[in-house]
Amino acid sequence: MQIGVESAKAVDNKRLFVVANDDITRMALQFMLHDENETHDLATLEAAFDKSVEWKPDLLLLGIDVVQERGIDVLALIKSRLTDTKLLLVAENREDPLVSACQSAGIDGLLLKPLTVEEVRRKVDGQLGRKRAPIQIHAL
């Protein structure tokens, strides 16, 4: 099912990796983004690194839970392994001290929960350098 997809974006073929410990967040993001992007839902960073050997991502959406588990140094590891890949952190709230530390460590953007289709696509398009047209809903 495609929700408000622009045909130009559907064939643009940007590759996204979604990595988070929370299965629901990963699946929700994959569902919201798969119509306009080649979106891969990956349970671990190691899976992302392995997949990136042949399929380099344009953008990595990273759950803050991965940073909580592995420490702030994981961001430097990601930047070294996925060079030229933008990094969008997915977090609960902006006031979390870890979010601030991640921003200082060089994340490219922040996506805050609750996740909505419009906001997720707007943030992703911004990171990919796309201009976002309003979502058009057509009656059946």
Residues β-bridged to residue 39? 16
Query: Which domains, from first to last, does the chain contain?
Result: 11-127 (3.40.50.2300)
Residue 24 CA to residue 47 CA, distance in Å, equals 18
Q: Along the 140 residues of the chain, how does pLDDT read in single tens digits? A: 444 445 444 456 899 999 999 999 999 999 999 999 999 999 999 999 999 999 999 999 999 999 999 999 999 999 999 999 999 999 999 999 999 999 999 999 999 999 999 999 999 999 999 975 555 565 65
Q: Copy the structure tokens of residue 28.
A: 């929700």
Residue 33 CA to residue 96 CA, distance in Å, equals 26
Per-residue pLDDT at 58: 98
pTM exceeding 0.75? yes
